[in-house]
Amino acid sequence: MMDWLMNLFQIRSGYELTWVMIGLAGQAMFMLRFLVQWVVSERARRSVIPVSFWYFSLAGAAVLLAYAIYRKDPVFILGQALGFVVYVRNLRLIRVEAQENAEAGDSA
């Protein structure tokens, strides 16, 4: 069974298998962001994007970017790199907003 899977996915060594496992872990982290968003939205009974969505996005993108670099796939690299920038920017905006709200609360 293992040989069949290795052939199916064109994995030729234990090293490549390690990288495939890393890629799958990154994809799992990326998928979890949708699960988190879905659960939070269901609980709120409206569409919500929690901060954890952006952390899962960032973690998944970082791992998938490493995998894409290993695979030397320029399309995959560009897609993950751009997403990584967007996720960092969103987290920065969230942090700035939280700081501004805290400062406004202190002065009230």
Which residue in 21, 15, 29 sits closest to 80, CA to CA? 29
Residue 30, domain extent: 19-107
Note whether residue 97 is domain-resident: yes
User: In the chain, how many domains are there?
Assistant: 1
Interval 16-25: pLDDT, tens: 989 999 999 9
Q: Does 44 map to a domain? A: yes
Give residue 108's pLDDT band: very low, low, confident or very high (50, 70, 90).
low
Q: Is the pTM of this model over 0.85?
A: no
Q: Indicate the angle between helix axes 51-71 and 74-107, nearest 10 degrees.
A: 160
Let me know if residue 100 belongs to a domain: yes
pLDDT tens-digit map of 53-89: 999 999 999 999 999 999 999 999 999 999 999 999 9
Tokens of 1: 């069974």
Q: How far apart are CA 14 and CA 59, in angstroms?
A: 24
Name the maximum alpha-carbon separation found in the chain: 67
Helix (H, G, I), strand (E, B) or coil at 70: helix
